[in-house]
Structure 1
């Protein structure tokens, strides 16, 4: 049976962020994820996790100035110093929350640009070394260019080839079913082929990014296939509820 983590950036937005932890627990989740925790002290996040008996499944490194359009720093050679500082920040939150993996966003850069490729590889090596010393995995996620135009990591094959070439033991793939369908389709075959390197999975319906099962894919079948492949990590529910979050959780009854 899949283990689901509520994405608190997108779900339970009827509540203030720190109150979403309790709402997720009350709705039946035992794990959470979110994009970024950095608006709140790590101790405040840790307190909510402990108070509600929740596992922290994932969060992202600081992305730069999100409001100004930054979507990560790793592939931006001119931001290397800022990226290095972001590692220290993320690891402080990782220690406080007990998370087992962090996601490194690539940033906006042409993937064919040699300087961007070199910066991205160097960033991965640096982060994997620092995270590995703390017992953490690092995941990278191809993101479709409709949601984030110009995103450097926008191809699953490129991500898989890079993971293989770098040979870093704690570097894994974040397989987002929503992004996979938009980028390439062939979701079930992709899961089968990439299963050995998958470190985290996320789901949302395509194309509107609402509850699983409300779009063009048979998301329940996909999740059952993932289960059959032996994936035992968390599936992050990274979707925008069509209405009130609690009212849209009926899709989870298929796994009760």
Structure 2
């Protein structure tokens, strides 16, 4: 059965961050994810989760200087100490929030990076992931890596599913998995169901959004009922993160989720909320 998790970094932005937990629960979600929790005390977030019967599904390790354009540290040579410190901070939050999965963003290559620079990033990436996978195993967590398209995130080091599979196989840890974001895969490569099948045993989390605008998944070029049907048939037992930017008010676009258990979601007359899902 498909279980949907609201991404609180993108959804319910009509509310302050800590109030989005209540809004997600009222809409029928039972799981939540977001980019980063570090602007808030972990205990304060835990109280919101418990008060609204929510499961913390996923969040990211500290990404470096986000405002300056950094998008993760895992592949950046010379930043290994900072990466490890961020990992420890994330594991501390994960312990308080009982969060089983942590996403380590790879980082961005410098402009004009040649093969030598790319190789240095790869070796740094492998070394950091080996360390992080061991630390996650000791803590009972799973580390995730995610291919991200270079249109939304220019220069991102990890962009293809093949590279992600190769890295997971190279590290060979049951605590390192792929975060399969259908939106990013469609933009970079397409052939969604075949990629899903090829690496299913390596997948630790799935995310969805409409393509190309990253709005509700009943909008755009991806027929999500077929993708999610295949995911369920493969035996996926994890969560599906709704990492999309609502085209309007969040609740108005949630009609598509009724087919997946969002019983409180009400389609809005005249909107595309019901889409192809019902």
Aligned to 2:248: 243
Cα distance in 2 for partners of 1:84, 1:196 equals: 27
Aligned to 1:167: 172
| Residue 131 (1) aligns with residue 136 (2) | yes
Cα distance in 1 for partners of 2:42, 2:252 equals: 30
1:111–1:120 CA distance, 2 compared to 1 (3 A): farther
Aligned to 1:90: 90
Cα distance in 1 for partners of 2:233, 2:19 equals: 35
Cα distance in 2 for partners of 1:237, 1:122 equals: 31
Structure 1 unaligned spans of 5+:
none
Aligned to 1:118: 123
Structure 2 unaligned spans of 5+:
262-278
Aligned to 2:105: 105
What is the DSSP-based 3-state SS (H/G/I as helix, E as strand, rest coil) of the residue aligned with 2:151? Answer: coil
TM-score (norm 1): 0.98
CA radius of gyration, larger in: 2
| Residue 178 (1) aligns with residue 192 (2) | no
Could you report, residue by residue, the CA deviation over 1:155-206 in whole angstroms, capped at 9, with x for unpaired residues? 1101101111211121101000000000100001111111111000000000
1:65–1:10 CA distance, 2 compared to 1 (3 A): same
Give the C-alpha shift of residue 152 in structure 1: 0.4
Cα distance in 2 for partners of 1:241, 1:9 equals: 11
* 4+ long deviations beyond 3 Å: none
Cα distance in 1 for partners of 2:70, 2:44 equals: 26
Cα distance in 1 for partners of 2:144, 2:158 equals: 12
Give the C-alpha shift of residue 255 in structure 1: 2.8
Give the C-alpha shift of residue 111 in structure 1: 8.9
Checking the alignment, whether the CA contact within 8 Å between 2:143 and 2:176 is kept in structure 1 is yes
Which range moves more in the overlay, 161-170 or 241-250?
Answer: 161-170
TM-score (norm 2): 0.90
Give the C-alpha shift of residue 254 in structure 1: 2.3
Cα distance in 2 for partners of 1:172, 1:32 equals: 19
Checking the alignment, whether the CA contact within 8 Å between 2:3 and 2:260 is kept in structure 1 is no
Checking the alignment, whether the CA contact within 8 Å between 2:185 and 2:192 is kept in structure 1 is yes
Counterpart of 1:214 (choices 193, 215, 219) is 219
Number of matched residues?
256
What is the DSSP-based 3-state SS (H/G/I as helix, E as strand, rest coil) of the residue aligned with 1:56? Answer: strand
Checking the alignment, whether the CA contact within 8 Å between 1:60 and 1:105 is kept in structure 2 is yes
